[in-house]
Copies of this chain bind each other. A is one copy, B any other.
């Protein structure tokens, strides 16, 4: 390979995805390694560094061909210091100084970000955000992650950790508890877990015929995908749950529009695979809840980059910083 590239890393609890990305933001090579969380996660960073060195040799790339390294990590990231703490799924007990580790291994700029934030940056720059200045990404998975792009940059708030959209409270009187300890959070009601929470709550009150209700009542695990499919297949119980689910999702989107009025809200994560069926319902619900004068200003769309969003965002992070440094 010749030309200029960026190394992008998306670190997760199961695997670390690594890519060589060109300056147009296209992934040119991509691989992943197992995240070894043994021994308090002390092998994670050395393993990533060794794998990068191997692949640079393989593709005959030298440091002079590289603009820098961008990385997304779970946990609470200090962007300036290049450190992370509270990444419990990596088995890291203490704060980790990733910047020092990478600077020792490579004579290259290194930029660290929270994983939800760089996924938002990736979608804004190369995906569904179409490079618009103000974009919000909502990731609908086991939880609800979020990233806010304002004026073309990741918004960090006062101390680096803004954008916890999953924990805005949509129903303070709800009996559904979030993993964070509060009740009625967006995440507790509108993530995949939220869909299950609503199903379990409503199964007490539904007396009709439903395969989904029967499965829940007999203690079986029912996935979000199965509930949504059953709703599409006219299971009345599943339809009722999906209606309530999209009401909360619409309310959450409407609140973000009232406050931030971004160009678009991008829905990502596992639930977003329900595609147009989800999108149509959420748009209708959001229209019910959003402030009338703002109607039509923000589009709700599906994410386009899938699992590559964070890798592409990590590369964009490097491009942005290097552009700013040179400006």
Binding site for B on A (CB under 8 A): 76, 86, 132-134, 148, 150-151, 155, 157-159, 161-165, 167-173, 180-182, 247-248, 251, 254-256, 258-263, 288-294, 297-298
Contacts and interface: CB of A to CB of B under 8 A. Distances in A.
A168 B259 contact: yes
Contacts of A155: 150, 260
B164 A293 contact: yes
Given A150-B155, A255-B255, A162 B260 contact: yes
22 contacts: A86-B293, A150-B150, A150-B155, A157-B260, A157-B262, A158-B262, A158-B298, A159-B261, A159-B297, A161-B297, A162-B261, A164-B259, A164-B291, A164-B294, A169-B254, A170-B172, A171-B173, A172-B289, A182-B288, A182-B289, A182-B291, A256-B259
A132 B157 CA distance: 11
Decide if the interface of chain A is mainly helix, strand, loop or mixed. Answer: loop
A259 B292 CA distance: 21
A228 to B, nearest CB: 21
B161 A293 contact: yes
A158 B251 contact: no
Contacts of A291: 164, 167, 180, 182
A148 B162 CA distance: 14
A193 B5 CA distance: 58
Contacts of A76: 293
Contacts of A294: 161, 164
Given A76-B293, A163-B261, A180-B291, 13 more contacts: A157-B262, A158-B263, A161-B293, A164-B258, A164-B261, A164-B293, A165-B258, A168-B258, A168-B259, A169-B289, A170-B172, A171-B172, A172-B248
